[in-house]
Amino acid sequence: MTSKKLLILELETEEVAVATLLRALKSTEWGVAVLGSQTFLSKLSDVMDGASINSRVVHSPEDLLYFDWHLFNVILLPNPKFLPSEYAKAFLSSIGSVPFGLGVFDLEDLESKYSTVNRRYDSKRSILSCCSFVYVSDLDFVNLDNALIRHVKARGKRILVIPFKYPSVVERSKLGPVVNIVVSGKVQAKRRKYLFAILSIVLASRRSGKQVHLCLNGGVSGSYGIFVFYVSQLVNRLFRNLSITSYKARVSENQYRDNLRSAHINLLPLTSLYDDGKDSGAFYDSMQYNMVSICPDSHLQSIGSLYGAVALGYRSISDLIQLIGTVMSQLEFYLADSHSKTEAYMHLDFRNYLINELNTLSTPR
């Protein structure tokens, strides 16, 4: 019988992370309720495949003013980047003494006086100063040790680490005459170095002589995205052993998953946005769909020591070209090793970790 209650407030994004919590806490002593916009709850329902969710729609900031926060033991508040100021003010004025945690992405969130977590909503208080703990999304909830976590603890805050998407089912990759590489996510400059990735794959494929297919698994955004789209079309005309699939519009969920199922190498040409402890959902795709991850070495250094699948880091374009070539030449071995690492990751007891952490966070110091 449920004896404790967790409330998750999300208005715009992170539906996959919320779904991870819902699945992990199902049939435990912790009941979960979700407070969100109609759009967010619709996205959450899609991710949960229509499963029943204890939820309530937020129509305006006034809905927060009269909400019964005291009915819950712990509350998760989104990163204020996704919480309009009028909602933040309403929350702070009505929350009382219920312990709540604040979502934080990176060190800049904590250190910059201009960041939303440090914005003062009255003469004295910011959301960061009022929260009981900070929560971050990271693969490594067991051995996590990075600059972001150390900074949080130095601020006198507790910490909760939540894997963005904890895998429950693992599929095996199928080998064939073509090496399939995927770069997932919206094609925009702030998150991925797409041109850098395309150039690296062009050079690696020419050296190896293997037939290579690259899928840019996301729709384009802005002038940069459009430019990448046309570069991919040009590459298709210039090279016989390399083909690129790219999309102008948003990729449907079914197509997105089909592209992952056929991929062998999960290339993450991440920007510095991900270098302060923020992991990428693509790592979890490597686990679920049995791929080898390749990303900047700086990112591997920032997210802990557990990756759940084979994860290789590069420091330069020459490193990346060599890594792609090495993986392609020994693909069967790398995929088998990646699958073994995923199985080991899935044996980690995330559910009991989460329950124990919530029990601690719900207890006043």
Residue with tokens 């404790």: 4
Rounded CA separation 251/248 (Å): 9
pLDDT of residue 200: 95
Q: Above 90 in pLDDT, residue 125?
A: no
Percent of the chain beyond pLDDT 70? Answer: 97
pLDDT, average across residues 119-125 = 77
329 pLDDT band, cuts 50/70/90, is: very high
pLDDT of residue 155: 84
pLDDT of residue 123: 66
- Burial (CB < 10 A; 0-12, 13-18, 19+), residue 198, is buried
Mean pLDDT in the chain? 89
Amino acid sitting at position 272: S
Q: Above 70 in pLDDT, residue 143?
A: yes
Do 64 and 36 form a contact (C-beta atoms < 8 A)?
no
pLDDT of residue 57: 94
Do 311 and 295 form a contact (C-beta atoms < 8 A)?
yes
Q: Above 70 in pLDDT, residue 363?
A: yes
Three-state DSSP at 212 gives strand
**What pairs with residue 267 in β-bridges?**
294
User: Please, where are the H alpha helices in the chain?
Assistant: 15-24, 38-47, 62-65, 85-94, 107-111, 127-130, 147-154, 194-208, 222-238, 253-261, 282-288, 297-302, 317-329, 331-346, 350-361
Domains of the chain plus CATH, in order, are 4-162 (3.40.50.2000), 178-346 (3.40.50.2000)
Among 177-186, 227-236, 293-302, 308-317, the minimum mean pLDDT is found in: 293-302
Rounded CA separation 290/339 (Å): 6
pLDDT of residue 1: 46
Residue with tokens 């270098």: 275
Q: Could you read off the pLDDT of 267-287 as tens digits, one per residue? A: 999 887 776 656 678 888 999
Is the dihedral angle over the CA atoms 138, 140, 142, 147 positive or is it negative?
negative
Among 8-12, 200-204, 227-231, the minimum mean pLDDT is found in: 8-12
Q: Could you read off the pLDDT of 212-225 as tens digits, one per residue? A: 999 999 999 999 99
Residue with tokens 């005291």: 70
pLDDT of residue 265: 97
pTM score of the predicted model: 0.82
124 pLDDT band, cuts 50/70/90, is: confident
What burial letters (b/e) apply to 158-197, b meaning 16+ CB within 10 Å?
bbbbbbbbbbeebeebeeeeebbbbbbbbbbbebbbbeeb
pLDDT of residue 336: 95
